Structure 1
Amino acid sequence: MKKAFTMLELVFVKVVVGILSYFVSTGFQRNPLREAADQLVSHIRYTQHLAIMDDKFDPNDPTWYRKRWQVVFNSDANTYNLWAYTIFSDGNKNGNPNLTLNEVAINPTDPAKFLTGGYAGIILSDGVGATQEMNLGRKYGITAIAFSATCQFAGSQRVSFDYLGRPLKGAPSGFGGIYQANRLMTQDCNITLTNGVNNIVITVKPETGYTYISAQN
């Protein structure tokens, strides 16, 4: 004779599973530091994608390589003096993003917004068109961002990519040639985010530009 679960038994199992699910879900607390790092890794990879797909080569412009795609970090009045970042291609080669020249990337998940968390002279962090979560200070409580010496140039905290997706140091606007030797990353670039208590490190590999979270404490 076959045995089957009664309706009462099935209901009891569902109730128990529901209770267990509740306790398990409440055990997983939100980690803003990790969320900020995950977001930034995704955006650095997207910047590399843009650089490969839109290499900026122009046979009529001898300094076309200065327009390359990059992600730049800043803390100024437009970000309420909190750390934010912007993804842009430097069309006018002045080292800074410009909305009126269509330099800032469009947010692929919301085309009404730009991929900037605020930048002096172009948009406030909470202004119309800004991607507010790119202000890491306001959204995730990030208090400092530090670049390792291996990927800084003249103190500039930014990462740009060439048409092969290779990471470069400093602002492309200052490049003296397509392959200026001291601007190509040859060592790991470590970007450390801190919330004042804990740190998390994002690493950008030389040559491949592969970006990932390498350490957390």
Structure 2
Amino acid sequence: MKRSAFTMLELVFVIVVIGILAAIFIPKFAQNKLSEAANQVISHIRYTQHLALMDDKYDANDAHWYQKRWQIFFAKTGGSGNKWAYTIYSDSNNYDGVPNPTEIALNPLDKTKRLTGGYSVGTVAYGDSDASDKLNLGNEYGITNITFSSNCSGSGLRISFDHLGRPMYDGPHKLDAPYTDGGASKLIQKDAGGNPCIITLTRSSESTQIAIEPETGYVHIQ
């Protein structure tokens, strides 16, 4: 006669096997989410550099033209649902460091949307019809923290590029000359240990590092 049910021993065995498989694959799933986020950020840093190369901001009639350079700006605000997100924009109106809707780059994959995952109320918030949800790294990929290394951190987590594609740190709106703030150069340089600018993305207990090389702006996983 055929059996119509599992024995208790067989059920326990199945549960143990499922537990083992979960222990193997769940960390890999988390790592994949982290890798997806890092690859997306790398792609958008490169796109920001592309915009800077194609859209030279020099204007002889504007003494503050260099404050309009294209930048990628990471922040966690009310407009992003208090999750880590980023925005690609050119601060072209009043140079206040705030990504106003008309300053934010259009999403090349969907021209009805802007390249932002949400910023403070009054700009483009996460969930708005013109926001690009995937740029909200907290909601889309579970990113819990973003840090910059000391050789590229300033008053905000921003990377901008000049017309030659050279990376700069801090906000262009803070510059008092094309490359300096208070006489200090904002071009990214290697630190004392020879390390490039490092952006660290953290997801729970896992993290990955994105490197931005001086001069060339070459960006890659460290």
TM-score by length of 2: 0.81
Match of 1:91 in 2: 92
Pair 1:138-2:146 in alignment: no
Is the contact between residue 49 and residue 161 of structure 2 (CA under 8 Å) also seen in structure 1? yes
Shift of 1:213: 0.9
Shift of 1:179: 2.6
Q: Which has the higher strand share?
A: 2
**Secondary structure of 1:112's match?**
strand
Pair 1:189-2:207 in alignment: no
**Secondary structure of 1:62's match?**
coil
Pair 1:80-2:81 in alignment: yes
Pair 1:179-2:182 in alignment: no
2:61 maps to a residue whose letter is N
Shift of 1:182: 1.9
Match of 2:211 in 1: 203
State the superposition RMSD in angstroms.
1.4
Cα shift readout 1:111-132 (whole Å, capped 9, x = no counterpart): 1100000011212211111000
Cα shift readout 1:142-164 (whole Å, capped 9, x = no counterpart): 000000010012x3111000000
Is the contact between residue 72 and residue 86 of structure 2 (CA under 8 Å) also seen in structure 1? yes
Length, aligned pairs only: 185
Cα shift readout 1:73-121 (whole Å, capped 9, x = no counterpart): 111111111100000000021111111xx21000001111000000112
1:168 maps to a residue whose letter is M
1:91 maps to a residue whose letter is S
Match of 1:41 in 2: 42
Identical aligned residues as a percent: 49
Is the contact between residue 100 and residue 124 of structure 2 (CA under 8 Å) also seen in structure 1? no
Structure 1: gaps (5+ residues): 1-26
Shift of 1:134: 0.3
Cα shift readout 1:3-33 (whole Å, capped 9, x = no counterpart): xxxxxxxxxxxxxxxxxxxxxxxx8964100
Q: 1:78 and 1:205 mapped to 2: Cα distance?
A: 31
Match of 1:159 in 2: 159
Match of 1:116 in 2: 116
Q: 2:204 and 2:214 mapped to 1: Cα distance?
A: 29
